[in-house]
Structure 1
Amino acid sequence: MILHRYINRQVFMTTVMVTFILVMVLVSGRFIKYLAEAAAGEIAADVLFLVMAFRLPEFLQMIVPLSLYIALLLALGRMHMDNEMVVLRAGGQGDGRVVRSLVVPLLMCTTLIAAFTLYVTPRGDAEVNRIFEEQKDRSVLELLTPGRFQVKGSGDSQRATYAEHLNREKGVLENVFVADASFHQDKGEADRLLTVWAKSGKIITEDGISYLLLKDGFQYQGKPGTNDYKEVGFKDAKVRIGGDKSDSRPPKVRGRSTRELISERHSNNEALAELEWRLSLILTVPIMGIAAIPLARVNPRQGRFYRLIPAVLGYMLYVGMLLVCRSWISDSKPGAVPWYLNMAWIHLVAMLAVSMLYFGPALWRRRAR
C-alpha cells in the first residue's frame, strides 16, 4: 500500500501540472481565435466565455490522456534515475507490481474520459453549435461596436456599418452609416453603391425578419459625379438587416448523443467515424498508460528525458493514425466501409507494440543464445 500511494501521488501531481500547462496553451490559442471573430463582428463578445466553457470538456478529453502518459514517463523515469526501481526489483517487486500500483489512476482517468467522450463533450458541442447558429442569425448591427466600422460579406457583395454611439437604455443607435456595395467580378470595382446616413436607428423585428428603423436621414445611390447619382431625404426608413428566423438546425455529428450515433452508424459514415473515435479515446488511456512503464526505463547516464521525445512521438503517431482513419471513414461511400477502414486494427497494432516492449527484450536474448 505504501508503494501504491507513493507512485500514485507522484503520478497525480505531475498529471495535474502537465494538464494545467497544456490547457492554458490550448485555451489561450482558441480564445484568441474567438476574440478575433468577436472583433470582426462575427460573434458577440458576451458569448466568448460561454463558448469556451462548453468547449473545455473537449479540450480535456484530448489533453488528460496525454498528460497522464507524460506524467508516467516523468515519474517512473525519475524513479529509474534515482535507482528506486533497482531497489524495488531487488526486493522482488517487478513491473507487475508497478502495473498493479497504476490500476487506480488508469481506471480513474479512463472513467473520466469515458464520461467526457460519451456524454459531456457531445452536449457541450451541441450547445456551441446552437450558440453559433444564433450568432449567424444576428445582423451586423446587432454585433456592432460603437465608434468602429464593421464590414461583412464575401464575393461580390459587402456591407459596411458604423454607429457613432449606442444608447443602451433606449436601445438606439446614433449617427448611423450603412453602405452596400456590389463589385464587378472582372474589374473588381463597385458597380453599385448604396449609402444611407441617419441621425438615429433602432432594430425592430417584423414577421421574424430584422429591420433597422432609421429616422431623419439621407439615402445616396450611384457613383458621385455620374448622371444617375441620386440623393433622397427621408423621415423614416426601414433597412432589412437579417434573414428569416429559422428553427434551430440539428447539431453537427460531434454534437449528437452517443445513442444517436449507435442508431445511425449503419447508414451514416460520419456517425460511425465519430462513434469509433469516441471509443478510441477511451482505449488510448489504458493502452498508452501500460506502454509508459517500459518506455520509462532509462539508464542514469542517459537522463530521465532520454526516451521522453520518442515516447511522445509514438503517442502522436498512434492518435494521428486514429484521426486519419476517422477521416477515411467519414469520406467513404455511405453504407460501404471497407474492413481495413476500422480503428480496431490500429488498437490491435498498438497492443502488439506494447507487448513487444514487455516481452521483446526477453525473446531477443533467448534467440541470441
Structure 2
Amino acid sequence: MILHRYINRQVFMTTVLVTFILVMVLVSGRFIKYLAEAAAGQIAADALFLVMAFRMPEFLQMIVPLSLYVALLLVLGRMHMDNEMVVLQAGGQGNGRVVRSLVVPILMATMLVGMFSLYVTPRGDAEVNRIFEEQKDRSVLELLTPGRFHVKGSSDSQRATYAEHLNREKGVLENVFVADARFESQGGAGRLLTVWAKSGKLVVEDGISYLLLTDGLQYQGKPGQLDYKEVGFKEARVRIGGEKTDSRPPKVRGRSTQELMEQQADNKEALAELQWRISLILTVPIMALAAIPLARVNPRQGRFYRLIPAVLGYMLYVGMLLVCRSAIEDHKGVLPWYLSMVWIHVSAGLVVFLLYFGARLFRRRARP
C-alpha cells in the first residue's frame, strides 16, 4: 500500500501539472483566435467565455491521455535514474507490481476521458454550434464597436459600417456611415451605395432587422464615373439581417453517442465520429501501459533519453487515428473491412505486448 500511494501521488501531481501547462497553451491559442474574430465583429465579446467553457471538455479529452503518458514517463524515468526501481526489483517488486500500483490512476483517467468523449463534449460542441449560429443572425448594430469599421460580405459584395458613438441608454448610433459595394463578375468595380446619417437605431419587422437612419444623405453610383446621385432623407431603412430561421441540426461532432450508434450504418461521418470517441478512451490504457517499459533507462542514458521518441510514438498513434477518421468520412460506397480504427488499436496493443515480452521471446528463439 505504501508503494501504491507513493507512485500514485507522484503520477497524480505530475499529470495535473502537465495538464495545466498544456491546457494553458491550447486555450491561449484558441482564445486569441476567438478574440480576433470578436475584434473583427464576427462574434460578440460576451460570447467568448461561453465558447471557451463549452470547448474545455474537448481540450481535456485530448490532453489527459497525453498528460498521463508524459507523467508516467517522467515519474518512472526518475525512479530508474535514482535507482529506486533497482531497489524495488531487489525486494521482489517487478513490473507486475508497478502495473498493479498504476491501475487506479489509469482507470480514473480512462473513466474521465470516456465521460468527456461520450457525453460531455458532444453537448458542448452542440452548444458552441448554437452560439455561432446565433452570432450569424446578430445584427451589425449588436456587433458594432464604436469608432471602428465593421466589414462583412462575400466575394461579390461587401458592406462597411461605422459609427462614431453608441448611446447605450437610448440604443442609438450617432454619425453612422454605411458603404454597400457590389462587384462585377470579372472582379471590377460595380455599384457603390454610400449612406451617412446623423443617427440610427435597430428596428425589427416581420422577423427582419433594419437599421433606421435619420437625417442623412445617400450617394449612389459607379466608381470612376461622374453620374453619382445624391439624395437627402429624413428617415431611411437599411436591411442588416435576414429572417429568423430555426437553428440547424448540430454537426456530427455535436450529436449524442446514441444518435451516432443509430446513424453509423448509413452515415460515414457518424461512423467515423463514433469510432473516434471510442478510440480516445482506448488510447489511455494502451499508452499508459506502453509508458512503463519505455520509461526504463539507466543513469548513463539520462532521464529524457526515451522521452522524445516516446512522445513521437504517441503522436504517430494519434495521427494514424486521425488519418483513418478522415479516410472513413471521405470514402464513397461500401466501407472495406480493413478501413477501421480497430486495426490501429490492435497494432498498438501488439507493440505494447512486444515491449513487455519481446526480449524474452527473442531469447527463447535464440537458444539452440
Question: Where on the TM-score scale, by shorter chain, does this alignment land: which range?
Answer: over 0.9
Q: Give the whole-Å Cα distance in 1 for the aligned partners of 2:49 and 2:15.
A: 25
Q: Give the whole-Å Cα distance in 2 for the aligned partners of 1:249 and 1:154.
A: 21
Shift of 1:361: 1.1
The answer to whether the 8 A contact 2:126-2:251 is kept is: yes
Shift of 1:150: 1.2
Paired residue for 2:111? 111
Secondary structure of the corresponding residue to residue 336 of structure 2: coil
Q: Give the whole-Å Cα distance in 2 for the aligned partners of 1:342 and 1:223.
A: 57
Secondary structure of the corresponding residue to residue 146 of structure 2: coil
Residues 83-108 of structure 1 show CA distances to partners (whole Å, capped at 9, x for unaligned) of: 11111111111100000000000000
Paired residue for 2:52? 52
Shift of 1:229: 1.2
Q: How does 1:11-160 map to 2 (within 5 A)?
A: 11-160=11-160
Residues 142-175 of structure 1 show CA distances to partners (whole Å, capped at 9, x for unaligned) of: 2110001111112121100000000111110000
Give the root-mean-square deviation of aligned CA atoms: 1.1
Task: State, as a whole percentage, how many aligned pairs show the same letter.
Answer: 83
Shift of 1:23: 0.3
Specify every segment of 5 or more residues in structure 1 that has no aligned partner in the other structure, as ranges: none
Q: How does 1:107-256 map to 2 (within 5 A)?
A: 107-186=107-186, 188-223=187-222, 226-256=225-255
The answer to whether the 8 A contact 1:146-1:166 is kept is: yes
Q: Give the whole-Å Cα distance in 1 for the aligned partners of 2:139 and 2:319.
A: 39
Specify every segment of 5 or more residues in structure 2 that has no aligned partner in the other structure, as ranges: none
The answer to whether the 8 A contact 1:175-1:197 is kept is: yes
Q: Give the whole-Å Cα distance in 2 for the aligned partners of 1:185 and 1:87.
A: 78
Q: Give the whole-Å Cα distance in 1 for the aligned partners of 2:225 and 2:356.
A: 83
Q: Give the whole-Å Cα distance in 1 for the aligned partners of 2:286 and 2:112.
A: 16
Paired residue for 1:272? 271
Q: Give the whole-Å Cα distance in 2 for the aligned partners of 1:120 and 1:225.
A: 57
Residues 8-61 of structure 1 show CA distances to partners (whole Å, capped at 9, x for unaligned) of: 001000000000000000000000000111111111111001100000000000
| AA partner of residue 354 (structure 2) | M
Shift of 1:225: 7.6
Secondary structure of the corresponding residue to residue 155 of structure 1: coil
Q: Give the whole-Å Cα distance in 2 for the aligned partners of 1:224 and 1:112.
A: 61
Q: Give the whole-Å Cα distance in 1 for the aligned partners of 2:223 and 2:294.
A: 74
Aligned length: 367
Secondary structure of the corresponding residue to residue 246 of structure 2: coil
The answer to whether the 8 A contact 1:294-1:358 is kept is: yes
1:337 alignment partner, one of 318, 335, 341:
335
Paired residue for 1:313? 312
| AA partner of residue 279 (structure 1) | I
Q: Give the whole-Å Cα distance in 2 for the aligned partners of 1:224 and 1:339.
A: 61
Secondary structure of the corresponding residue to residue 196 of structure 1: strand
Shift of 1:140: 2.7
The answer to whether the 8 A contact 2:44-2:143 is kept is: yes
Paired residue for 2:351? 353
| AA partner of residue 290 (structure 2) | A
1:367 alignment partner, one of 353, 365, 368:
365
Shift of 1:227: 4.9
The answer to whether the 8 A contact 2:191-2:223 is kept is: no
The answer to whether the 8 A contact 1:10-1:75 is kept is: yes
Q: Give the whole-Å Cα distance in 1 for the aligned partners of 2:225 and 2:351.
A: 76
Distance 1:367 1:224, change over 3 A: closer
Secondary structure of the corresponding residue to residue 191 of structure 2: strand
